[in-house]
């Protein structure tokens, strides 16, 4: 499986979030505490939005994040108000750049932790459900990328929670047709550069860990001495596979079967369940 | 496009063929004379059969062959009676190990130079024609790998020339349906570890270069002073994208629309044309 | 050998200079016209200064620049007023990240095209001349990095042209002691993030090509229709191994034995010659 | 730190030793039990002697061993009577091919687990002690490679235990001059293709783990049912950083301060201590 992190808020150097915390994502690449594997060394990726371009930059590579000097350089010199980072532990598919997260389509980014159970057997059926126009843009061989293209097929750009629900519905239906009891396991992050959606769901109701950071105002009251908290805006929010440190009150588990949205008009959380996709 | 080389005959160190000739495949990676591009630096692969295993070893990597030290080490220490080597110049698909040739299925190997015209548009239709069982094993995003799986679908293991003809027929039919006048350009090498098939064909009758080496007996008579020729068996044969040197009489162009077979019972060459595949 | 490019001026997306010109550095990685090799595919690097940090970011990798997606992403999203880019053609030393240019020490960057003749034999003597404190920071095995550390030893941070002259003097003296007639061949770019020095010199007075761009005012008068020229400041300047295009009047050869400085107080060019370093 | 394995005996497919055991070296790359780090993912190498060449082949790469397909291919197709394998956990020096073990000089191979304490500060002094002729061949930046070249300088090819003792003596003397109390920590494997030496030593008498396999005769008597033991010759021996499995009686700790030799005339073990090298 994998670990990931999504940041939205006051523009910061990526290293502030990626390297500096005690149990940073880079630390998790060697010593994950809550992941299925403690080591996440099969590639990584970081995607960020800049001040003036709608399309994010995405840098991905196939070695472990912990020893990658280019990631260190970029993190130390690039500021962003909205970025994704992902470390990969392959469950079988090839370790190659096109299998690293985040994935991009236009101004949208997508990253995933989890798996489609027995994906190997379902891959062709799911691939056929992708819009033929979009099919051409898939480059890798992961379930994660295919889930992204299914969600795009089902209207991700118009209705993210609905499109993800239909994607999940299709995966479950296809799985059941192949005799798979619990087809889907996912924590997902999706963004268009302005809003950020996080999802936690699994067919078995035993999803991988996912946390969101406490509202900055509340944290400031709890920890008036922390300079960092005075520097970031009230709307700053993190969604992470596992907490970046042990700060009391800072991290909250996303409940099972939930979608959260980080957005200028106020963050929200609501329940999430797969939905039967319209017939293809 | 790419350059490739197939060897069958007396077991030799790979370097004898890969590095030592004046215009070796490694030299061609920097200075191809007859290719579409002079530089073939987007990955490489070598596949060889050993003395006791039916399945070939395949080593592929994404950098240029000319600077790869591991390839140099392997070539200097591995002997084989039948091996493939390939250097890649990507026409757009990702530079990644799963897109490097040769490709393998069981004891079979396949490598390709050429392209399916406007592959991007035809990719989905062609992928749907692959046997669902085989579909699951495709890992990369090249036209070359897809052509291999189509040929496997059409019976490569029973009738290689027939299966390749049906694959070519499907590519041409699909191309024409998409309004592509000349859909296919290919030189191909295929082997099961005992026999070696080479193909030269293009829809436009203007195929990429392909050569085969002259019968060893004839070469010995022409060049009685060449020690190398005395050491190799009479059945030793090379098929190459471009000649490895300037030895007079050593290289012969494979004619347009031709399939050649290197085999213990005597080599053969016959004309090749696409064939309409049975309806799926 | 190699090819390089140094930019100083109005902040631009790196791609404006690295990818967009007709004969861009990326094009030169496959099709160099004036280099010793037409292919420069043995690694690359880019180093840039940002708006608020004194230390440049340096991203380097070992594959060819032409197919590197991360370089493309960075170039499309990072703006900088002062950056270096380099593509490498190894003359023998290993293809590894620590041998890729630019090299960095504190806020300084250095890149090089050329070679120390018979470097293999002189390497130890030259390494001994490096300040023991600085010795510890050398990571690679190139003559180029060693030249940088010799220049740092000789006072690069106080007097760049003097330190480079003493480095060149030491290389020539050491070469002559080893019976090498023409020990040094170099075009160099050095910067501290504010000023940019370019050097062209070779023991044989037959240096690799080096060009600087014409003053922006003059170019605007020559080409009043070019929008790009209206957008950049008068002080914008490029130093390049070979011209990025065919714009008449845009490129001027740096004369043999010359050092040029690009700086806020007005650019300068003066003659350059090696100088005997004080005895260690 | 690192983990390694040296095999000498009946020629086997490398995979028999590298992949098949329950706690194989590949498993140790993710889940080392006795190493300083559980993860050894900063590159790997394998070096083997073939049937007819004196010089070993060495294949090294910078990613983790656990996901490397080329290593899997080679291990599944290459047989050897004497081979080394090494997985690396960098203690700071660059992750690059020239820093991966084993190292080679002529027909000799060398690999190491451990470190020179505060190597950064001692590196120059130690490098100066290397024979100037040999200096030129060092390509990487590790303490391990430098230790190899010091041992070569001190006569490794004539007297391996003596040369290693003098290397260790120099490292300790140099360390003490720099105020380092415990300068050396090492387990080493050295071979000329016929004999195999293993060393376990540290200045602090708290060396990294090292084990050797029990004499095959004894093991056969203990485990008459194990087919594998009937197939290998009586002289077959493994030296490993940690046991490859839990077979009772199979593994024995190499004592502190010990050198063992695996050789046709009968294996031996004797005590090892650093020796003062003659003044340079």
Give the pLDDT band (50/70/90) at residue A52: confident
Helices (H) and strands (E) in chain C, counts: 9, 13
Mean pLDDT of chain A: 94
pLDDT, one tens digit per residue, over D197-217 is: 999 999 999 999 999 999 999
Q: Residue D169 in 3-state DSSP?
A: helix
Q: Is B118 on the interface with A (CB under 8 A)?
A: no
**pLDDT reported for residue C112:** 97
C62/B39 Cβ within 8 A = no
pLDDT at A27 over 80: yes
- State residue C51's pLDDT score: 84
The answer to whether B63 contacts chain C (CB < 8 Å) is yes
Name residue, tokens 């060393």: D199
- CA dihedral of C85, C87, C92, C98, whole degrees rounded to 10: 40
**C99 interfacial to chain B (CB closer than 8 Å):** no
Entry pTM: 0.95
Could you tell me how far CA B133 lies from the centroid of its own chain?
25
pLDDT in tens, A190-239: 999 999 999 999 999 999 999 999 999 999 898 888 888 888 899 999 99
Residues of chain D with Cβ-Cβ distance to C100 below 8 Å are: none
* Digit-coded pLDDT (tens) for A122-135: 999 999 999 999 99
For the residues C176-204, what does the mean pLDDT come to? Answer: 97
**Segment A261-266 long-range contacts (CB within 8 Å, at least 24 positions apart):** A261/A195, A261/A196, A261/A197, A261/A198, A262/A8, A262/A195, A262/A196, A262/A197, A262/A198, A262/A235, A262/A237, A263/A194, A263/A195, A263/A196, A264/A194, A264/A195, A264/A235
Taking CB atoms and an 8 Å limit, are C135 and D123 in contact across chains?
Answer: yes
Cβ proximity of D59 and D70 under 8 Å: yes
Q: Could you tell me if residue C279 is inside a domain? A: no
Query: Tens of pLDDT along C63-74?
Result: 999 999 999 999
A278 domain residue, yes or no: no
Instruction: Flag if C42 and B67 touch (Cβ within 8 Å).
Output: yes
SS3 breakdown of chain A: % helix, strand, coil, rounded to 5? 30, 30, 45
- In the DSSP assignment, the letter for residue A60 is E
**Digit-coded pLDDT (tens) for B183-198:** 999 999 999 999 999 9
A73–C53 CB contact, under 8 Å: no
**Domain carrying residue A78:** 2-271
Q: How far apart are CA A7 and CA C183, in angstroms?
A: 53
pLDDT digits (tens, 9 = 90+) for D52-62: 889 999 999 99
Give the pLDDT mean for B41-54: 93
Q: Tell me the CA end-to-end span of chain D in Å, nearest whole number.
A: 30
Residue A171 lies in a domain: yes
Q: Nearest Cβ partner of A98 from B96, B121, B127?
A: B96
Residue A61 within a domain:
yes
What is the domain-level CATH number for residue C208? Answer: 3.60.20.10
Q: For D78, phi and psi rounded to 5 degrees?
A: -110, 130
Render pLDDT for B226-262 as a digit per residue (tens, 0 to 9): 888 888 899 999 999 999 999 989 999 999 999 999 9
> If you ran DSSP here, which 8-state letter would residue A159 be given?
-
Interface list for D 68-87 with B (CB within 8 A): 69-70, 73-74, 76-78
What's the number of domains chain C is made of? 1
CA distance D27 to D139: 29
Report ipTM for this prediction: 0.94
Q: What CA–CA distances, in Å, run from A199 to A271, C33, C158, C277?
A: 9, 53, 56, 65
Per-residue model confidence (pLDDT) at position A280: 46
B124 touches chain A (CB under 8 A): yes
Q: Is residue B276 part of a domain?
A: no
| Span D148-193, pLDDT tens digits | 999 999 999 999 999 999 999 999 999 999 999 999 999 999 999 9
Q: How many CB pairs under 8 A join C and D?
A: 39
Whether C276 is in a domain gets the answer no
CA distance C58 to chain A (A): 6
Look at residue C280 and tell me if it is in a domain: no
In-domain check, residue D277 = no
Q: How far is CA C48 from CA A12, A17, A74, in A?
A: 18, 22, 11
């Amino acid at each position: 499986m994998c670990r990931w992190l999504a940041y939205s808020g006051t523009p910061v150097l990526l290293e502030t979030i990626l390297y500096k915390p005690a149990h940073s994502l880079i630390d998790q690449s060697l010593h994950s505490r809550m992941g299925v594997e403690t080591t996440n060394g099969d590639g990584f990726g970081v995607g960020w939005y800049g001040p003036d371009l709608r399309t994010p930059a995405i840098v991905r590579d196939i070695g472990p994040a912990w020893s990658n000097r280019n990631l260190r350089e970029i993190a130390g010199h690039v500021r962003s108000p909205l970025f994704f980072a992902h470390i990969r532990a392959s469950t079988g598919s090839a370790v190659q750049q096109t299998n690293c997260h985040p994935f991009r389509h236009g101004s949208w980014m997508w990253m995933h932790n989890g798996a489609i159970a027995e994906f190997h057997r379902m891959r062709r059926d799911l691939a056929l459900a992708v819009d033929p126009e979009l099919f051409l843009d898939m480059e890798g061989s992961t379930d994660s990328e295919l889930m992204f293209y299914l969600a795009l097929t089902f209207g991700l750009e118009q209705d993210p929670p609905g499109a993800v629900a239909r994607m999940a519905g299709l995966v479950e239906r296809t799985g059941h047709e192949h005799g798979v009891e619990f087809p889907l396991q996912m924590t997902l992050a999706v963004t268009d550069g302005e809003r950020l959606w996080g999802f936690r769901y699994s067919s078995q109701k035993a999803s991988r860990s996912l946390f969101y950071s406490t509202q900055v105002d509340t944290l400031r009251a709890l920890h008036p001495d922390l300079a960092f908290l005075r520097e970031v805006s009230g709307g700053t929010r993190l969604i992470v596979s596992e907490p970046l440190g042990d700060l009391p009150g800072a991290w909250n588990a996303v409940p099972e079967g939930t979608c959260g949205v980080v957005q200028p008009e106020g963050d929200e959380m609501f329940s999430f369940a797969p939905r039967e996709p319209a017939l293809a």
